Structure 1
Amino acid sequence: MHERFDGFLLAYFGNGAQPDAEQVRIAVTPRRDPGTWLPLNGGRPVVRSDVGEHGVRDPFILRDGSRGRFVLLATDLRTYPDADWARAVRHGSRSIVVWDSTDLVHWSRPRLAAVAPAEAGNAWAPKAFWSGERNAWLVFFASAVYEGPDRREERHQRILVAETRDFSRFSPASTYLDPGHDVIDATFLQWHDEFSRFTADSLTNRPGEEWRFVSQERGTALTSTDWAPVARDLGAGSQRHAEGPAPFAALDGGGAYLLLDEFELRGYQLYSSRSPHDAEWEHVASARLPEGARHGSVIPITAAERERLIAAYPETDL
């Protein structure tokens, strides 16, 4: 599997309060090592949303091999210019934005997919992973869920999940993870027949103490009920805070990488590990990531796919 790939693609959105920060940007690596990234289109957006809230965050890209296409998911959210987060969590979009492509260059029109229930105030950071057991894609996202029309009282974010086979029709969402406090950005790394689950969790091991880093757990399957805690402070020591984890396996099969978003500061930072399920992550301080790259996702790509993308965006800095 790894031999056919020659590098990586990163889909991300931009840091800071700018009119087009909340649109999708793409970068690629010039080789198999993810220590250097080339932002396409001079770092400007390459995929845009003009539906829903007319802004997107947290892009997640996947390769749907059975249908011969790529799928891009994102949070339907625009916070510029008012940064009204109270509105976003109480009366925000319950839909995610979806695009399709056969070549990573030409994308379909964006479409809205309503995934969160009526009592939800938002649908954030969608991630999709194939479940052979369910024969479907499991789409994980964070929502604050309210009990009635009065949404003045704050509700915590929890992880919901819906199923789909075609990213057009989705099952009703159900609760996947609710620890009783804020937890967002759930994503997974499959490596050597095991899984690690990463979340941006608001609490430490000491009840009542808030935290702003990333937790990691180890399990046997996406739908496991026996996740074992491994770490609760990924990013601490090298970042002021962290969210938006984006793990991906090394192409040589001997380890994995992890991106953590130091949001509104440096953006994504790169970490590597030869034993990723044990959370032995080392900060790659020398990594050259796109400036201000925030909460996104990574997939492996072939040399031909990289060359096609660079040819489509001549302003890519080689």
Structure 2
Amino acid sequence: MSARPSRTDRQGVRPLLVLTMALVLAVAATATTGSRPARAADSAFVMGYFTESPNGLGTDYGLHLAVSTDARNWTPLNQNNPVVTPTQGTGGLRDPFIMRKQDGTFVVLATDLKGTDWTQQNEYIHVWQSTDLRSFTDYRRLRMHSMATHSWAPEAFWDPGRGQYGIIYSAVNAGGHNVIMVNHTADFRTVSSPQVFFDPGHDVIDGNLTRDVNGVNYLYYKNSSQQTLVGARSTSLNPGSFQPFSTGVAHGGTEAPIVVKSPTDSGWFLWGDTYTPNGVFYAWHTNDLASGTWTAADQRTYTQPVNSKHGTIHPITTAEYTNLIARYGAPSWNRLKSYNFPDRYVRHANYAARIDPYPFDPYTDAQWRLVPGLADPSGVSFQSVNNPTRHLRHKNHQVVLEPDDGTAAFDQDATFHRTAGLADSSWTSFRSHNYPDRYLRHSGYALRVDPVSTATDRADATFSVGH
């Protein structure tokens, strides 16, 4: 679950679980996450999530998908619209989880909750089957318990000792605080009686399991009282065997831990989701999962799908990556991320162009179609998605969003040429068509076209073109 009220915000209501970002990833045979070991062909990744935005304009409680080749920067599928939506229970989902089962097909689990009524008690979770994540079949709800509590943020893992899958989720125990529960199943149709999987004696939520890393299993979770992400570990998968060991990390109020094996080095990433209705993902890195210590990752190196909340990541093959894009399509729009303010994106506000911190509504203010340059098709022009008759153009060196008046002057003012990033050649800068000594840059967060000479200027003029 995501962004639930704190205990002090829920006077008279027993503590409720905030969120489990069941995000499990394996990219090496020594790091499995509830399915068979990752294979050499697993060279891409899929993320599942639901969406929320500050004013609700981008909120949708269906299953959304995005794909990536590095597990850090994502291409939303289906124009960031849901690919499937529950038809039973509350009619919505939160906290989806994707896992490849032992037979090579996928199972999708999710919390049965539409919206943010944290007082709802629900014994069920959503379940789908899928052979390829391009279609979803055998939809059902699975009853986890008969207790007067919730079944939030389900995640599954393969337990080789039992020859069954474990399903962990969050619920309130007899002591009145949240714990991580577990049921075992062979088929995701019937489950064993629930057991307490992890209870350190205080409120914990958002369990995320990484299995068998050099013989050790790691369970990351949120310590609700401290608003931090903490790890526990065990050499078995037995309920009650995990013991806390790591240093807690946080970025403000942080929940939804995500442990991800880096596909580019021997290290690991720990993701977290901020404690707001429209959370922001942050990441930390370690070279040694056993150390339990983490260093904040540079925000330039990762970008979440717009409006995404409580995701799940799983490795897929290159063929599956290609087939998912073929099935759902890549976005017809882009977002521009600032190099030196990587929490900010180019958007229009009152028809002026600027960079603002993510997230915001209307979120479509930051979506652009990069069309052939109006004055030169080898260049680009920025067409607004939510004001499609308008393009960015410079006027007195300030950048504004205006309707195309059909003049040559407008076409030239609205045309830019892509170059290697002035501050980082793997990023992008945009040179003005009719003032070729000037580049698109931000100054005081407002966009301008200015000459570039200093290191600060070059950073101001560098952007990432993504989604």
TM-score, normalised by the number of residues in structure 1: 0.84
Instruction: Establish whether residue 162 from structure 1 lines up as the match of residue 199 from structure 2.
Output: no
Structure-1 residue corresponding to 2:206 = 185
Contact 1:140 1:162 (C-alpha < 8 Å) held by counterparts: yes
Partner of 1:246: 258
1:180-213, CA deviations, whole angstroms, 9 ceiling, x for partnerless residues?
Answer: 33211111123233221111122xxxxxxx2112
Q: 2:117 aligns with which of 44, 59, 84?
A: 84
Q: Distance in 2 between matches of 1:54 and 1:105?
A: 21
What does 1:96-245 correspond to in 2, within 5 Å? 96-116=125-145, 118-145=146-173, 155-190=176-211, 191-202=213-224, 210-223=225-238, 225-234=240-249, 236=250, 239-245=251-257
Equivalent residue runs for 1:38-57 within 5 Å: 38-57=75-94
Q: CA deviation at 1:7?
A: 1.5
1:87-139: CA deviation from partner (whole Å, max 9, x where unpaired) = 22xxx2110000000011100153100002x2231111111111011110011
Distance (whole Å) between structure 2 residues aligned to residue 127 and residue 26 of structure 1: 17
Residue identity matched to 1:270: A
Kept in 2: contact 1:120–1:146 (CA 8 A): no
The match for 1:74 is 110
Local SS of the residue matching 2:246: strand
Cα contact 1:3–1:251 (8 A) shared by 2:
no
Partner amino acid, structure 2, of 1:138: G
CA contact (8 A) 1:53 1:93 kept: no
Task: List gaps (5 residues or longer) in structure 2.
Answer: 1-37, 333-465
1:269 aligned residue: 282
- Distance 1:101-1:297 versus aligned 2 partners, 3 A rule: same
Give the structure 1 partner of residue 47 of structure 2.
10
> Does 2:102 correspond to 1:65?
yes
Structure 1 gaps, min length 5: 148-154, 203-209
Cα 1:229–1:172 change in 2 (3 A) is closer
Distance 1:267 1:253 in 2: 25
State the shift of 1:254 in Å: 1.5
Residues 158 and 227 of structure 1, relative CA distance in 2, 3 Å threshold: closer
Q: Distance in 2 between matches of 1:28 and 1:62?
A: 15
Corresponding residue for 1:307?
A: 322
> How far 1:72 sits from its partner (Å)?
0.3
Q: Secondary structure at the match of 2:290?
A: helix
Distance 1:263 1:101 in 2: 31
Superposed CA RMSD in Å reads 2.2
2:68 aligned with 1:23, yes or no? no
* Contact preservation (8 Å) 1:14, 1:22: yes
Pick the structure with greater CA Rg.
2
What per-residue deviation string (whole Å, max 9, x for no partner) do you get for residues 217-236 of structure 1? 222122275534233522x2
Instruction: Choose 301-310 or 254-263, whichever is displaced more.
Output: 254-263
State the SS of the aligned residue for 1:309. helix
TM-score scaled by length of structure 2 = 0.58
**Paired residues of 1:189 and 1:249 also in contact (CA < 8 A):** no
Q: Which moved more, 1:11-20 or 1:122-131?
A: 11-20
Distance 1:123 1:224 in 2: 17
Structure 1 contact 248–299 (Cα < 8 Å) conserved: no
- Distance in 2 between residues matched to 1:284 and 1:219, nearest whole Å: 30
**How much does 1:290 deviate?**
0.8
Give the corresponding residue for 1:278. 291
